[in-house]
Structure 1
Amino acid sequence: MFGSGRVTDRILAAAWLLMVATGVCAEESKVADETVRSLASSLLARPDDPRPMLNLAQALLQGLRASRDAGEAARAEALIQRALTLAPRDSRAWALKAWDEMNRHRFREALVSVRQAHGLGVPSAMTLGLESDALVELGRYEDALAVTQKLLDAFPGLPAYSRAAHLRFLHGDIEGAVGLLNESLAVAPPGSEAHAWAFVQLAELHLNGGQFERAENALARAETLFPGRPDYPALRARVREAQGKREEALALLREALDQYPSPDDAVMAWRLARSVGDHEAMRRLALLLDGMARLDEAGDKLFRRAFAEYYALQGHRYGEAERLAREECLRRPDIYGHALLAFVLRQAGKHREADRHGQTALRLGTADRRLERWARPPRAARTPTVAAKRSIADDDGIAPFNPEEAP
Structure 2
Amino acid sequence: MKFYIYFLALLLTFSCSEKAHETVASEADYNPYLKTEPTKTTSKYYELWNAKIRPDSMQLTSFGIVGGEYNRYFKETGDISYLKKAEQSLTRAVEIASIGRAGYRRSLARNYISQHRFKEALVMAKEARKLGADPKESQFLLFDVHMELGNYGLAEKYLDSTKNMKDFGYLIRLAKWNDYKGDLDATITFMEKAKSIALESKNKSLMLWSLTNLADYYGHAGRLKDSYEHYLKALEIDSNNAYAKKGIAWIVFSNDKNPEEALRILDSVTMTYNAPDYYLLKAEIADYMGNNLIRLKNLDEYFQRVDNPSYGGMYNVYNLGLYIDETKQYEKALELAKQEVQNRPTPESYSWLAYTYLKAGDKDRAKELMDIYVVDKTYEPALLYQVAEVYKAHNDVKKVKELKNELIGAAYELGPLMEKQIQDL
Q: 1:121 to 1:63 in 2, by over 3 A?
A: farther
Counterpart position of 2:193? 183
Aligned to 2:71: 61
Structure-2 residue corresponding to 1:19 = none
CA RMSD, aligned part only? 3.1
Q: What percent identity do the matched residue pairs reach?
A: 17
Matches within 5 A, 1:261-300: 261-296=274-309, 299-300=311-312
TM-score by length of 1: 0.79
In structure 1, C-alpha distance between the alignment counterparts of 2:254 and 2:281, rounded to whole Å? 12
Q: Is the 8 A contact 2:109 2:121 kept in 1?
A: yes
CA distance in 2, matches of 1:294, 1:212: 35
- Which of 341, 350, 358 is the aligned partner of 1:338? 350
Matches within 5 A, 1:29-108: 29-40=39-50, 47-87=57-97, 90-108=101-119
**Residue 137, structure 1, aligned to residue 148, structure 2:** yes
- The alpha-carbon distance between structure 1 residues 293 and 244, as it changes in their structure 2 partners (threshold 3 A), is same
Q: Secondary structure at the match of 2:328?
A: coil
Q: Work out whether residues 342 and 355 of structure 1, in 8 Å CA contact, stay in contact via their aligned partners in 2.
A: yes
Q: Which moved more, 1:316-325 or 1:219-228?
A: 316-325
CA offsets 1:163-191 (integer angstroms, 9 cap, x no match):
21111111101110101111111211236
Note closer, same or farther for the CA distance 1:315–1:67 as it changes in structure 2 (3 Å cut): closer
SS of equivalent to 1:151: coil
| Equivalent in 218, 230, 239 of residue 218 of structure 1 | 230
2:8 counterpart residue number: none
Question: 1:287 deviation in Å?
Answer: 1.9
**Deviation of residue 280 (structure 1)?**
0.9
Distance change (3 Å), C-alpha of 1:29 and 1:329 = farther
Contact 2:78 2:273 in 1 (8 A): no
Pairing 1:372–2:393 present: no
Cα deviation, 1:9-42, whole Å, max 9, x if unaligned, reads xxxxxxxxxxxxxxxxx96434534543454467
Larger RCO: 1 or 2 (CA < 8 Å, sep 6+): 1
Gaps of at least 5 residues in structure 2 are 1-35, 393-399, 420-425
Change in 2 beyond 3 A, CA 1:389/1:134: closer
Relative distance call for 1:59 and 1:288 in structure 2 (3 A) is: closer
Check conservation: 2:194, 2:210, Cα contact below 8 A: yes
Alpha-carbon deviation of 1:106?
0.9
What are the ranges of 5 or more consecutive residues in structure 1 without an aligned counterpart? 1-25, 398-407
Kept in 1, the 8 Å contact 2:122–2:145? The answer is yes
1:217-241, CA deviations, whole angstroms, 9 ceiling, x for partnerless residues?
1111111122212222322233334
Q: CA offsets per residue over residues 141-171 of structure 1, 9 Å max, x none?
A: 1211221222334x94222211211111111
| 158, 162, 168: which one aligns with 2:172 | 162
SS at match of 1:195: helix
**In the alignment, is the contact (CA less than 8 A) between 1:203 and 1:216 conserved in 2?**
yes
Q: Alignment partner for residue 323 of structure 1, among 323, 335, 341?
A: 335
> Counterparts in 2 of 1:105-120, with a 5 A limit?
105-120=116-131
User: Aligned residue for 1:400?
Assistant: none
2:14 alignment counterpart: none
Maintained 8 Å contact 1:50/1:87? yes
1:109 corresponds to which letter in structure 2?
A: E
The answer to whether the 8 A contact 2:49-2:66 is kept is: yes
3-state SS of the aligned residue for 1:29?
coil
TM-score by length of 2: 0.76
Q: 1:240 to 1:146 in 2, by over 3 A?
A: farther
| Shift in alpha-carbon separation, 1:151–1:60, aligned structure 2, 3 A | farther
One of 161, 174, 178 as aligned partner of 1:150 = 161
- CA drift of 1:335 comes to 2.5
Residue identity in the other structure for 1:352: D
User: How many angstroms apart in 2 are the aligned matches of 1:272 and 1:342?
Assistant: 27
Residue 268 and residue 68 in structure 1: after superposition, are their counterparts in 2 closer, same or farther (change >3 A)?
closer
Q: Judging changes above 3 Å, is the alpha-carbon distance between structure 1 residues 137 and 356 closer, same or farther for their aligned structure 2 residues?
A: farther
- For this pair of structures, how many residues does the alignment match? 368
Structure 1 pair 261/356, CA: closer, same or farther in 2 (3 Å)?
A: farther
Q: Is the 8 A contact 2:232 2:244 kept in 1?
A: no
Q: Kindly indicate whether the alpha-carbon contact (under 8 Å) linking 1:91 and 1:118 is maintained by their aligned counterparts in 2.
A: yes
Q: 2 CA distance for matches of 1:254 and 1:348?
A: 35
Mapped partners of 2:262, 2:348: distance in 1: 23
Question: What's the offset of the Cα at 1:108?
Answer: 0.8
Alpha carbons 1:370, 1:396 under 8 Å: kept: no
Aligned to 1:388: 409
Q: Which residue, 271, 275, 283 being the options, matches 1:258?
A: 271
* Residue number in structure 1 paired with 2:208: 196
Q: Which amino acid aligns with 1:310?
A: L
| Partner Cα distance (1:351, 1:254) in 2 | 40
Q: Which has the larger radius of gyration?
A: 2
Aligned partner of 2:217 in structure 1 is 205
Q: CA deviation at 1:251?
A: 4.2
**Secondary structure at 1:228 match in 2:** coil
- Aligned pair in 2 of structure 1 residues 100, 307: CA closer, same or farther (>3 Å)? same
1:355 and 2:357 aligned: no
- The 8 Å contact of residues 195 and 210 in structure 2, kept in 1 or not, is answered as yes
Aligned-pair distance for 1:256? 3.5
Please state whether the residue corresponding to 2:307 is helix, strand or coil: helix
